[in-house]
Amino acid sequence: MTDQDATTADATHAGSAEPRRRGPVASFLRETAIILVSALVLSWVVKTFLAQAFFIPSASMHDTLLEGDRVLVNKLAPGPFDVHRGDIVVFADPGGWLDQQTVPETNVVQDALIAVGLMPQQSEDHLIKRVIGLPGDTVASAGDGSPLTVNGEPVDETAYLAPGASPSEIRFEVVVPTGSLWVMGDNRQHSADSRYHLGDPGGGAVPIDDVVGVSFVTLWPLDRIGLLRNPGDVFADVPDPS
């Protein structure tokens, strides 16, 4: 074999050599990074478009929801799905509802986890109440403990009102504006809900555009995990607004 033949053979051997394989540790780290990034992206997509967890900060929804509960919100309603009377909705502060609430402090790590949906949203700028009136509904109370009326039909709310709570100690009658909802807490005497904002723009009604979604399950604590069902029978006899 000549020197030229040997050189050609060496070049051919070098060209056909397989790429150097990664070690097991490098492969593990690469696969772990791919899994983590994929999980973060999936969590962000779910939180942005489908569902989001929220923390309950107050007693306004006793005994349906307690302070410290975490709920999961369906963000497809309103949207592809409708909001109904009796739904429990999370909504952004329409303006001035939370002026007196203390904003909890978070650190950079917590903010990042909230942003991608791995921690529940701190509810400093959101509220959670039950929908009583839809656009066009007339919601009224005599303020004497008698049942609310919706479009003239009395509604029996004992299925969800807090023990000892009166339907309303405030007298009012409102027609819910187009594109808005009338909302009230289940713990009526401890809920600064639509009734307390009658003098605000919109007359206490919450714009549907401010609604994040409908709560459908309690996720935490473990002993309170359960579905948040719409009490459809409560509003079954309510007629459509005239």
Reply yes or no on whether 191 is catalytic: no
Reply yes or no on whether 60 is catalytic: yes
Which residues are registered as beta bridge partners of 149?
A: 140, 154
| Active-site choice (58, 60, 168, 215) | 60
The two three-digit tokens of residue 208, written as one number: 């549907």
| Active-site choice (75, 123, 129, 194) | 129
Q: Catalytic site residues?
A: 60, 129
